[in-house]
Chain A
């Protein structure tokens, strides 16, 4: 009995392939490890492009455009604002997708 339990421990089978919803081996791109690496790479890329932005001479015509990393924070904040606004609008206007068929 105890032997059976031990053989079922995941530690005993470190190389068992991850399976997807169909029971097939999981595609490498969606494995948790890959996703973690993509996040890390993405964050490094974000830092890199913000740094790149500081290397060019600002030609700001509108004052705020010259602030540090303007396009980074402006892009992020406006997107968050748009999502929140959409959510807010959705509270009143979202209906079941069979709404017009009923």
Chain B
């Protein structure tokens, strides 16, 4: 192993994760807060180019390979680990924190990986860490959801591994660089990556698993898996046209399913797919503006989505697990800080001017506009309004306002409030001062989000989307329903088919038993009836009877002879 950096930033969190269970009390809290900060420091020490290598079989792995894009993603992952850790300080189950830190460290490992084998190894480690986080929800539902989650991600991992092996076979290189979907190998890699973005048809793993995690677990989950997938798409498949349409599908899928949803954390999960859709479109457009847009959107999205899930997590924490819109409402009266944090997150996700979403997502829209992609642009504009509709208003309205549920939970403990305040401030600060974020982007940019035309356009779009929400409120009324998705095939059809196959088999076996009991036994009974020692065909008759019959026959013969 050769290294120009002291330590790979990902190692700090991954190995630190194993330290958490062996300490307790304030030492654990200190470790939870210090490890991400150390990681952040280490990330900022990573220069451009390959910084750390290691020998594996015949290959030289590039464990740390710095660039603007990789540092941007690694930075936000470390910030997220810090705020998530702060929010989760009162989490009693340390295994969740350990898993979350290993998961975050692996995500940073993917962002800094220079070769495709390293990407794959960290990719699989992420799947293990995130499955453990889902499982840490510690309910029967969470256990089953974790199993389904693991199956989808292990499947994705196998597809990716097939692609990686075929790619190395084809090219002889393990470099992770722009590859484009031109061969079987690169298609497999692309599909493996897309499964983690929540792309169709396997989107359902995300809203299935994330809401089942604990109040703190879903905050971690929202950040890493989908955004590392966006990162690898930006590196390996920028400019791949098909991504534009996959992204547009994801955007509207997220909106429509979120509109029908009743569980507040599932609403936010669908909205992750919606937001990642914007980033996938950016990767598909592939211009410098689009890649800057997707990268900055990923950065700001992690902050405001985590903020929204912290707000939702605080409600879950303070109401002993209530998460359905039909059970909530009116909470703003007793948990004002949580409500305000939720509203700030909701405004940011909707790209409201002076929030972080406005200065990031609009770059992707601008990229579509600049490249004359009219249909895509109209879709993105409609979707920007739709984001306000399904997440921007729907989440705060149904949780904190609407009809009064009579629940009066207090705001959560100080550390959870501190995490929400930190991310609320970041949402607004980046929105007002986008300069520092723009300086971190992969390409230099002089993009000006705050032109009066742009601000007025966005205000019109969002406020009229708000009008549509309140005008259509009777249609938005929540019921105790879920909406079927592709997971129906493996949760219902496959299960029912297996059950009916089992039933058919057992009926067949029961039929066999019936045949044994009735037909075969009847044959045996009949045979034994005739052939048993006293049966008509097997019994012995006395010699006297024989003589009697001989006499009868002879007598009959005599009569015939004499008289006929």
Q: How far is the CB of B378 from chain A (nearest CB, A)?
A: 8
| Residues on the A chain within 8 Å of B469, using CB | 79
Return the contact of A97 from the options B262, B405, B456 (Cβ within 8 A): B262
B456 contacts A82, CB within 8 Å? no
Looking at B369, B457, B491, the one whose CB has the most chain A CB atoms below 10 A away is: B457
Interface residues of B in 237-279 (CB under 8 A from A): 252, 255-257, 259-260, 262-263
A66-93 interface bits toward B, Cβ cutoff 8 Å, 1 = contact, 0 = none: 0001011111101110111111011001
Alpha-carbon distance between A74 and B461 when the two chains are bound, in angstroms? 7
A82 contacts B259, CB within 8 Å? yes
* CB of B480 closer than 8 Å to a CB of A: yes
B415-451 interface bits toward A, Cβ cutoff 8 Å, 1 = contact, 0 = none: 0000000000000000000000000000000000000
Alpha-carbon distance between A3 and B485 when the two chains are bound, in angstroms? 64
| Residues on the A chain within 8 Å of B262, using CB | 97
A21 contacts B406, CB within 8 Å? yes
Alpha-carbon distance between A21 and B334 when the two chains are bound, in angstroms? 14
A100 contacts B465, CB within 8 Å? no
Q: How far is the CB of A101 from chain B (nearest CB, A)?
A: 8
Alpha-carbon distance between A52 and B455 when the two chains are bound, in angstroms? 10
Answer whether A79 and B385 are a contact pair too, CB < 8 Å, given A86-B256, A94-B482: yes
Interface residues of B in 467-481 (CB under 8 A from A): 467-472, 475-476, 479-481
Q: How far is the CB of B496 from chain A (nearest CB, A)?
A: 11
B460 contacts A49, CB within 8 Å? yes
Alpha-carbon distance between A62 and B374 when the two chains are bound, in angstroms? 7
A94 contacts B481, CB within 8 Å? yes
A62 contacts B483, CB within 8 Å? no
Return the contact of B472 from the options A62, A83, A89, A93 (Cβ within 8 A): A83
| Residues on the B chain within 8 Å of A62, using CB | 374, 377-378
| Residues on the B chain within 8 Å of A86, using CB | 255-257, 259-260
Answer whether A53 and B468 are a contact pair too, CB < 8 Å, given A21-B406, A27-B333, A83-B389: no
Return the contact of B456 from the options A49, A99, A100 (Cβ within 8 A): A49
* CB of A22 closer than 8 Å to a CB of B: yes
Could you say which interface size class chain A belongs to? 35 or more
* CB of A16 closer than 8 Å to a CB of B: no
| Residues on the B chain within 8 Å of A33, using CB | none
* CB of A4 closer than 8 Å to a CB of B: no
* CB of B489 closer than 8 Å to a CB of A: no
Alpha-carbon distance between A102 and B498 when the two chains are bound, in angstroms? 16
| Residues on the B chain within 8 Å of A27, using CB | 332-333
Alpha-carbon distance between A97 and B263 when the two chains are bound, in angstroms? 10
B330 contacts A30, CB within 8 Å? yes
B385 contacts A94, CB within 8 Å? no
| Residues on the B chain within 8 Å of A29, using CB | 332
Return the contact of A93 from the options B374, B464, B483 (Cβ within 8 A): B483
- Spell out A's residues near B (CB within 8 Å): 20-22, 27, 29-30, 42, 45-46, 49-50, 52-53, 55-59, 61-62, 69, 71-76, 78-80, 82-87, 89-90, 93-97, 99-100
23 contacts between A and B (CB under 8 A): A49-B463, A53-B457, A55-B456, A56-B456, A62-B378, A72-B461, A75-B385, A75-B463, A78-B385, A79-B464, A82-B252, A82-B256, A83-B389, A84-B475, A85-B256, A86-B256, A89-B483, A90-B481, A93-B260, A94-B483, A94-B484, A96-B482, A97-B324
- Spell out B's residues near A (CB within 8 Å): 252, 255-257, 259-260, 262-263, 324, 330, 332-333, 369, 372, 374, 377-378, 381-382, 385-386, 389, 401, 404-406, 408, 452-453, 456-472, 475-476, 479-485, 491-492
Please provide the 5 A-B residue pairs with the shortest distance between their CB atoms, ordered closest to farther. Answer: A79-B468, A71-B460, A78-B382, A75-B464, A75-B461
Can you name 6 extra interface pairs (CB under 8 A) apart from A42-B463, A57-B453, A72-B461? Answer: A22-B408, A49-B459, A82-B389, A93-B484, A99-B482, A99-B492
